Chain A
Amino acid sequence: MVKLILRDKEYEVRPGMDLLAALEKCGILSESVIATRDGELILDDEILKNGDVIKLVAVISGG
């Protein structure tokens, strides 16, 4: 499985889909986050592999 982490929430999706599809599945707007894997930025078309841990960084600040 693939794990996505956003703040204190964790989501799991099946491997083989791209990041955009994974975000949609989790109900996360890709415009509102940047995604990292092993310390590198990854893009919406990145295919997620079994065991991947994707750390999402929320970009909206509301001040």
Chain B
Amino acid sequence: MKCRKCGSKASVNMRQHKLALCKEHYLEWIPEQVERHINKYKMFTHEEKILVAVSGGKDSLALWDILARLGYQVDGLYIGLGIDEGERYSSESQRLTQKFADERNLKLHIVDVEKEYGQPIPVLSELTHRGKGRPCSVCGLSKRHVMNRIARDLGYAVLATGHNLDDEAAVLFGNTLNWLGEYLLRQSPVLPESPGLARKVKPLCRFYEREMAAYAFLRGIEYIYEECPFAVGSKTTYYKELLNQLETKRPGAKLTFYLKFLEARQGGLFAEQEKIQATLTPCPNCGQPTSAPGLCSFCRLMVRAATTTAEITD
């Protein structure tokens, strides 16, 4: 297969775009497309400060690399989750993230959950009996809380995450299977800022996971290849595999599924947003907005963890 731009041997073939490119032209094409999507969805400008949440995985490191190449003012945030039994997943992902930042002279903020909140994620999950044996819901809640806190405290206008199209399509698939209207309404390349909440953006939301893996490989980005041990066998992984089976038979199916959803949502297919949007009030403890009366979910989680710890020690 030949590169469409120069005719030399292609390194990447994107069947959904009927486009094959060589290494050189692929590494040019990706940032051009990211910039196009940033502008199309009005994600941010070159004047704004961006905080990119980095996990040490291929997508978030690729996003940081691309935004830095495009000349944006972008710093990184790594959240140490303390998932270190067996494979030492968190320690290794932090090492790779730090190495990435050091080699490119980029600024990295690190928040260690255990140091700041007393316990690592797996222990917090056990103490609070949340998540049916998997700490994923506690992990997600904690990451959202910390990301927003750091963005707000350090004056970043925007919080960027490395979600790719496969992530978005899998979430969409799960929410559609269960007709979760409220979640469907919230799924978007941009969640605008509101009092107490930073703007959230997903600049890679139109790229296949495979394209990001190819980008990371061709750029020589060293990332954590092993899965989070708690993600193995997850619903998200299963949905991604199903969607890839569909994609194999019908190239472009994942992209169409996601883009047509965005169009339908924009066109008001699901519900009028004002009617189901909850009123947000500041949490009396941390100040972050919450739809619950009293403490936000994260602070309630912390109280529950502290209570259980006290009971165990008594």
Residues in chain A near residue B232, CB distance under 8 A: 62
Contacts of B210 in A (CB 8 A): 31-34, 59
- How far is A29 from B209 in the complex, measured between Cα atoms in Å? 14
Q: Is A51's beta carbon under 8 Å from chain B?
A: no
Question: Cβ of A45 and Cβ of B1 under 8 Å apart?
Answer: yes
Q: Is the CB of B237 within 8 A of A59?
A: no
B residues 183-227 near A (Cβ < 8 Å) are 209-210, 212-214, 217-218, 225, 227
Contact A36 B236 (CB under 8 A): no
| Contact pattern, B 5-46, Cβ under 8 Å of A = 1, otherwise 0 | 000001111000000100100000000000000000000000
Determine the chain B residues whose CB is within 8 A of the CB of A60 once the complex forms.
Answer: 166, 209, 237, 240-241, 244
- B217 lies within 8 A of A44 (CB): no
Given A59-B210, A62-B234, A31-B248 contact (CB < 8 Å): yes
Which residues of chain A have C-beta atoms less than 8 A from B214's C-beta?
A: 34, 41
- State the Cβ distance, B239 to closest chain A Cβ, in Å: 9
Chain B residue nearest in CB terms to A36: B217
B13 lies within 8 A of A61 (CB)? no
Q: Which of the residues B11, B228, B248 comes within 8 Å of A63, measured between beta carbons? A: B228
Which A residues lie within 8 Å of B247 (CB)? Answer: 31
Q: Which residues of B contact A33 (CB under 8 A)?
A: 210
Q: How many Å lie between the Cα of A17 and that of B247 in the bound state?
A: 22
- By a CB distance below 8 angstroms, the chain B residues around A41 are 11-12, 23, 214, 217-218
Give the shortest distance, in Å, between A47 (CB) and chain B (any CB).
12
With A and B bound together, what is the CA distance between A59 and B244 in angstroms?
11
- A36 / chain B contacts, CB cutoff of 8 Å: 217
Interchain CA distance A61-B93 in the complex, whole Å: 14
> Do B213 and A63 touch (CB < 8 A)?
no
Given A41-B11, A44-B13, residue A62 in contact with residue B228 (CB < 8 A): yes
List, sorted by A's number, 26 A–B pairs whose CB atoms are closer than 8 Å.
A29-B245, A29-B248, A30-B248, A31-B210, A31-B244, A31-B248, A32-B241, A34-B210, A34-B213, A41-B11, A41-B23, A45-B1, A57-B225, A58-B225, A59-B213, A60-B166, A60-B237, A60-B240, A61-B57, A61-B209, A61-B227, A62-B234, A62-B237, A63-B55, A63-B227, A63-B236
- Chain B residues within CB distance 8 Å of chain A: 1, 10-13, 20, 23, 55, 57-59, 166, 209-210, 212-214, 217-218, 225, 227-228, 231-232, 234, 236-237, 240-241, 244-245, 247-248
